[in-house]
C-alpha cells in the first residue's frame, strides 16, 4: 500500500521580486509566518487583495520565497466568485491563463496571465518515487478514507524533484468535497 500525506492548499499568491517591490516597497523582504512541508517554502505574514471583474478577495496569503513569475492559485469556487475562468494547470504553467489585479499596501499590479486552479498533485523526492515505483508526470488516483465522504481523486500528477518532500496537495474545494479536516493520509492507486 502506497501512503501519502494529503494537505489542503488554500488560495495563495507567488510573487516575483519586481512585483513584490511594487506591492510592498523597494527592498522589501517577506516575513515568514510558518514553514510549509516543502523544503524552503513558507507562508508569509503579508497579504494581498486579488481583484477580478466581479469582486475582490481580500487577505490572500503569499507563499515565499519569491519566484521568477507571479502566479495566483485559486480554487474554482474562488475564481468564479471574482469573475475569472481559471484553467486547471500545474503550478508554473500559466501561459494563456487569465489576468487579474493584485493590490498591496504600497502599490498594485495587473498581471497579464497567471491565475490558475492548481492541478491536484503529489510532490516526491527521487528516492521515495523510486521506492513507490512512480515517475515524474505520471498520472495516478488517490483514495481518501474520510469518515463520511470517502473519495477517490483521479488525474493526480506526480511531480518528482530533489527539492520536494513527499506530500499531496489538493485545494479547498477538493478538501471540502472529501470532508478532509486537517492533514490526513491517502492511498496512491495506479
In which band, very low, low, confident or very high, does the pLDDT at 81 lie, cut at 50, 70 and 90?
A: very high
Query: Residues 33, 42: contact at Cβ < 8 Å?
Result: yes
> Is 147 exposed, middle or buried, given 0-12, 13-18 or 19+ CB atoms closer than 10 A?
exposed
pTM: 0.93
pLDDT per residue over 31-42, tens digit each? 999 999 999 999
Kindly tell me if the per-residue pLDDT of 61 is higher than 90.
yes
Can you give the pLDDT at residue 190? 79
pLDDT at 115: 98
CA–centroid distance for 164 within its chain: 14
120-189 folds as Barwin-like endoglucanases (2.40.40)
> Can you tell me the mean pLDDT for 176-187?
93
155: confidence class by pLDDT, cuts 50, 70, 90: very high
Please give the full DSSP string across 62-89, using - where no structure is assigned: EEES--SS-EEE--HHHHHHHT--PPEE
Residues 186 and 168 sit within 8 Å (Cβ to Cβ): yes
Instruction: For 123-138, write each residue's pLDDT tens digit.
Output: 999 999 999 999 999 9
Give the whole-angstrom CA distance, residue 68 versus residue 15: 8
Place 71 in a pLDDT band, splitting at 50, 70 and 90.
very high
- How many Å separate Cα 48 from the centre of its chain? 16
- Residues carrying CATH 2.40.40.20, the chain: 120-189
The proportion of the chain whose per-residue pLDDT surpasses 70, expressed as a percent, equals: 100
Average pLDDT of the chain to the nearest whole number = 97
Confidence of residue 147 (pLDDT cuts 50, 70, 90): confident
Residue 183 pLDDT exceeds 90: no
Amino acid at each position: 500500500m502506497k501512503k501519502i500525506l494529503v494537505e489542503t492548499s488554500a488560495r495563495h499568491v507567488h510573487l516575483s521580486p519586481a512585483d513584490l517591490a511594487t506591492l510592498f516597497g523597494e527592498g522589501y523582504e517577506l516575513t515568514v509566518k510558518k514553514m510549509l512541508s516543502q523544503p524552503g517554502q513558507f507562508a508569509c505574514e503579508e497579504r494581498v487583495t486579488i481583484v477580478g471583474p466581479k469582486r475582490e478577495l481580500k487577505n490572500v496569503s503569499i507563499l515565499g520565497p519569491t519566484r521568477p513569475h507571479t502566479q495566483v492559485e485559486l480554487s474554482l469556487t474562488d475564481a468564479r466568485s471574482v469573475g475569472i475562468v481559471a484553467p486547471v494547470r500545474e503550478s508554473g504553467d500559466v501561459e494563456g491563463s487569465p489576468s487579474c489585479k493584485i493590490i498591496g499596501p504600497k502599490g498594485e499590479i495587473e498581471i497579464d496571465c497567471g491565475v490558475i486552479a492548481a492541478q491536484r498533485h503529489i510532490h516526491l523526492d527521487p528516492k521515495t518515487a523510486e521506492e513507490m515505483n512512480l515517475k515524474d508526470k505520471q498520472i495516478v488516483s488517490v483514495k481518501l478514507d474520510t469518515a463520511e465522504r470517502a473519495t477517490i481523486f483521479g488525474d493526480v500528477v506526480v511531480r518528482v524533484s530533489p527539492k520536494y518532500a513527499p506530500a499531496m496537495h489538493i485545494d479547498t474545494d477538493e478538501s471540502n468535497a472529501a470532508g478532509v479536516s486537517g492533514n490526513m493520509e491517502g492511498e496512491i492507486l495506479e
